[in-house]
Amino acid sequence: MFLQQLINGIALGSTYALIALGYTMVYGIIALINFAHGEIFMAGAFVGLLMVGVFKLNIFLAMACAMIFCMIMGVVIEFIAYRPLRKSSRLSAFISAIGVSTFLSSLALMVFGANAKGFPDQAFPSQQISIGDADISTLQLLIIGVSAVLMISLEFIVQKTKVGKAMRATSEDYNTAALMGVNVNFVISFTFALGSALAAAGGVLVGMLFNAVSFNMGLMAGLKAFAAAVLGGIGSIPGAMLGGLLLGVTEVFGVAIGYSSYRDAIAFAILVLVLLVRPTGLLGRKILKKV
């Protein structure tokens, strides 16, 4: 039973980590909390559902389409809602983010309705694998595998590519990077695109895991992913991965021991406890103010 709950927690935590990476990358670059990120996650889930249900694509092509759509969506949001306010107060950007979030969730409500939609059975015929007394589904293994590939790919991009080097330079000092010839506008747009693609993949995976896609699914998932990013250390990519996994595993074990009514509160209780001891998060460090 322990193994089964552990796999459940890792699968759920992997999706939290994918969403949390978008928060932490954007904050690491421009010190902005993109509160519309949860709605990008929601949009990715709906695009994946449409690709599978209407266009009959397999789940991997559907996920790829969702990632591409949300990459474009993330860049457009950054260009319209955040770039003009980059030199303004943080409150202005915060209000803009809330506005974008509300607009996207309301648009999804108008287009798709209030009732949750489920993925068709043929999207990914899940099977049970018995290991001792644990029953593990192939869907959970798929979620863990896809999430691992995406997170490893992100780490490779950030650490081993030219654009990743530019991202790290911009994160260290925005103005100095610009003076050294880094195209910071491109770096910021690329960061939004990358984070949005991961959120879209997370949306498709969560939609399959719970077999439910709804207009308001981004709210709680986004809050938990933000908590995971802060728990791991906002601005730290490994921290976002660790924070997501810890929250997922803790939430699942909390439900397993009888606290299902408090599953949403568990994430934030852990966050508060960790921040009381380590205000920068588990792997975080102080970040210079971006101007």
pLDDT tens per residue, range 168-200? 999 988 889 999 999 999 999 999 999 999 999
Segment 195-239, tens digit of pLDDT: 999 999 999 999 999 999 999 999 999 999 999 999 999 889 999
Residue 291 has pLDDT above 50, yes or no: no
- pLDDT at position 286 is 62
Work out the average pLDDT over 18-32: 93
Burial degree of 87 (CB within 10 A; 0-12, 13-18, 19+):
exposed
- pLDDT at position 262 is 83
Q: DSSP per residue over the chain, as a string?
A: -HHHHHHHHHHHHHHHHHHHHHHHHHHHHH----TTHHHHHHHHHHHHHHHHHTS---HHHHHHHHHHHHHHHHHHHIIIIIGGGTTS-HHHHHHHHHHHHHHHHHHHHHHH-SS-B---GGGS---EEEETTEEEEHHHHHHHHHHHHHHHHHHHHHHHSHHHHHHHHHHH-HHHHHHTT--HHHHHHHHHHHHHHHHHHHHHHHHHHHT-B-TTHHHHHHHHHHHHHHHH-TT-HHHHHHHHHHHHHHHHHHHHTT-GGGHHHHHHHHHHHHHHH-TT-SS----PPP-
Residue 138 has pLDDT above 90, yes or no: yes
Contact present, 191 and 53 (Cβ < 8 Å): no
Q: What is the spatial distance between Cα 247 and Cα 272, in angstroms, rounded to a whole number?
A: 12
